[in-house]
Amino acid sequence: MFVDWIVHSAERFGTVRVVFAPFGAFGTSVFHAICNSITTNTLRKEGDSLIIDNILSSPLKFTKEQTPGLFLEPDSADTRLSFIMGVMQSLTKCWGMLVNTFDELEPRYLQHLKNILNGKPLWSVGHVVPLGCIANTRGKKSDISEHKLVQWLDSKSPCSVIYVSFGSQAFLTQEQTQALARGLAASHQPFVWSIKVSPESVSAQSNQEELCASYLPEGFMERDIGLVIWGWAPQLVILSHPSVDAFMSHCGWNSTLESILKGVPMVTWPMFGEQHFNSKLVTEELGIGVQFCQDRDAIPCEDKVEKSVRLLLSSDKGTEMRKRAVKFKGLAQPSVGEEGSYTLNLQDFANEMHKLMKCKAEDRVGYGYDVSV
C-alpha cells in the first residue's frame, strides 16, 4: 500500500496493481476517510475530537487520545501528512486489494472498503502468520531459551500473567521504562516484559546487570514477580500459554491480530500511525481492552498502569473482556479451515491471478482493469 509510485509503473506497462493493506479494514477505512475529508476540506471537529461521517451510517468519534497528532491540526507542509495523503489517494487506483484481516472480525469495515473500491475485488487474507504456529517464527534470537521461558510460565497460575511488549520500532527511554516498571510492580501481577532499548544504549552497557541498573528502578528485579527479557521475545509462544491473560501492547496490527487470534485481551499504548485506530478498535469496537497511554514520547502514568493491569487480570470487567476475546478467537479458527474465509479468499485470489497471467496486455482492459486510470 505504501509504495504508491507503483501506480505509474502499472499504467506505463499495462499491468495490474493489487494493493496489500498491512493493517486491518478499520484502520485502512479511517485513514482513507480522514485523508478524503482533508482533501475536500470537510474535516469535522468537536473540541479536540474528530468526527468521521463517511464510513458507516452513524458518525465515528475519535478523541484526542485516539487520533494521530498530524490529523488534529493538518499542516500541508508536513511531509508525513503529504506521504499518507498520497498513499490514500492512490488506494482506489488499483485492480484489487488484499487486507490483512479476516471476514468475521471486521465485516462492516471490509464492506466499506469494497464500497470505495467500486466493484473491484477485495480479499481478506489475514492473519499472515498461521494460526497453528506457536514457534518463534519471526524476529531475532531471544536472550532466553524457549524451554526456560515456558518453564517460568508453567510455574504461574492460569490467566494470571500479563505479557508486555511494544514492538520493534519504538525504544523506550529510561524515564518511560522506570515509570512503567513502577506501575507493573504496584499491580502485584506476574509479568513477562520484553524490553527493547536503543542499540546505542545496549552497546554502552556491557551486560544485563548494567542495563537493569540503568533502566529499572532500584530493587525492581529483587521483587521476583516478573520475567524481564532484554530484546526479542517469542511472542506467539507467550500468547499461546494458558498462564497469560493480558497483553500490554503498542497496538501494531500484527501484534493486535496475534492477541485476538490467541484470545488474549489487551492493555494498549498506541504510539504512532494506525496504532491509535487499532487501539480504538480493540477498546471500543471489540470491547477487549483498555488504553492507558498515548504517543511514543509520553511518560506512562504509574497509577494508570497499575489500574489497567488489575482491571484485566483481577476484575469482573476484565473477565468479560477475556470472554469476548475468546469469542473472537473462536470466530478466527474456522477461517483457516478447508471452507474458511481465509482459505477461500486466498484460493480465489490465486485463481484470479492465474486468469490474468493468461490474458494478453491488450485484453486486460476488457477483463476489468483500465490501464488509463
Domain co-membership, 219 together with 240 = yes
Residue 178: give its domain's CATH number: 3.40.50.2000
Q: Is the pLDDT of residue 256 over 80?
A: yes
> Which grid coordinates belong to 70?
498530524
Query: What pLDDT was estimated at residue 234?
Result: 92
Do residues 117 and 170 share a domain?
no
Tell whether 326 and 345 lie within a shared domain. Answer: no
Mean pLDDT, rounded, for 260-287:
94
Q: In this model, does residue 142 exceed pLDDT 80?
A: no
Is the domain of 277 the same as that of 350?
A: no
What's the per-residue H, E or C state across the chain? CCCCCHHHHHHHHCCCCEEEECCCHHHHHHHHHHHHHHHCCCCEEECCEEEECCCCCCCEEECHHHCCHHHHCCCCCCHHHHHHHHHHHCCCCCCEEEECCCCCCCHHHHHHHHHHHCCCCEEECCCCCCCCCCCCCCCCCCCCCHHHHHHHHHCCCCCCEEEEECCCCCCCCHHHHHHHHHHHHHHCCCEEEEECCCHHHHHHCCCHHHHHHHHCCCCCHHHCCEEEEECCCCHHHHHCCCCEEEEEECCCHHHHHHHHHCCCCEEECCCCCCHHHHHHHHHHHCCCEEECCCCCCCCCCHHHHHHHHHHHHHCHHHHHHHHHHHHHHHHHHHHHCCCCHHHHHHHHHHHHHHHHHHCCHHHHHHHCCCCCC
Q: What is the pLDDT of residue 18?
A: 93
Residue 297's domain comprises 146-332
> Does 287 lie in the same domain as 257?
yes
- Please tell me the predicted confidence (pLDDT) of residue 169: 78
Instruction: Specify the pLDDT at position 334.
Output: 80
313 shares a domain with 165: yes
Claim to verify: residue 177 and residue 265 sit in the same structural domain: yes
- Whether 137 is covered by a domain: the verdict is no
Same domain (yes/no): 241, 316? yes
Residue 311 is assigned to a structural domain of this protein: yes
Reported as a single tens digit per residue, the pLDDT across 163-208 is: 999 988 778 888 999 999 999 999 999 999 998 877 666 555 556 6
pLDDT at 373 over 70: no
pLDDT of 324 over the 80 cut = yes
Number of domains in the chain: 2
pTM to 2 decimals? 0.89
Residue 141 lies in a domain: no
According to the model, what pLDDT value does residue 371 have?
44
Q: Is residue 193 located within the same domain as residue 325?
A: yes
Q: For 342-372, how does the pLDDT look when each residue is reduced to its tens digit (9 = 90+)?
A: 889 999 999 999 888 887 655 655 445 454 4
Residue 151 falls inside a structural domain: yes
Question: Is residue 267 within a helix (H) or strand (E), and if so which, with residue range?
Answer: strand 266-268
Are residues 253 and 159 located together in one domain of the fold? yes
What value does the mean pLDDT of the chain take?
Answer: 86
Same domain, 163 and 301: yes
Q: Is residue 179 part of a domain?
A: yes
Average of per-residue pLDDT across 32-43: 89
pLDDT digits (tens, 9 = 90+) for 216-251: 888 888 778 899 998 889 999 999 999 999 999 999
139 falls within a domain: no
Q: Are residues 222 and 348 in the same domain?
A: no
Question: 45 or 204: whose pLDDT is higher?
Answer: 45
In a domain, 252, yes or no: yes
